[in-house]
Amino acid sequence: SYELTQPLSVSVALGQTARITCGGNKIGSKNVHWYQQRPGQAPVLVTYRNSNRPSGIPARFSGSNSGNTATLTISRAQAGDEGDYYCQVWDSRTSVVFGGGTKLTVL
């Protein structure tokens, strides 16, 4: 089955840039989507198909995908960006696959 690997936690200073990675075998050949989940809330789609942003998501959120790693980049990090972030792909054998999630802390 296809697996996605994320770091358990990432810390970033207020106003700096955070990068959250998502590793998978040849993930660059797949479309990767990212979700933000603030504490006690439902997930929110922040980027889809590698680098597209839904309406209402700030341009500070951007995605990239190449080789065996996809990356969500959050520029000018704010306190409100804290929460868990999940990458997700669709795989022909496993169907929908989520990464284990990364807890983002803004210091």
> What is the closest distance, in whole angstroms, from the C-beta atom of residue 105 to another protein in the complex?
17
Q: Is 16 in the site for another protein (CB under 8 A)?
A: no
Q: Is 57 in the site for another protein (CB under 8 A)?
A: no
| d(C-alpha 22, C-alpha 69), whole Å | 6
Contact (Cβ atoms closer than 8 angstroms) between residue 96 and residue 71: no
| d(C-alpha 41, C-alpha 80), whole Å | 13
Q: Which CB, 17 or 105, lies closer to another protein? A: 105
Return residues touching another protein (CB under 8 A): 31, 33, 35, 37, 41-45, 48-49, 54, 86, 88, 90, 94-101
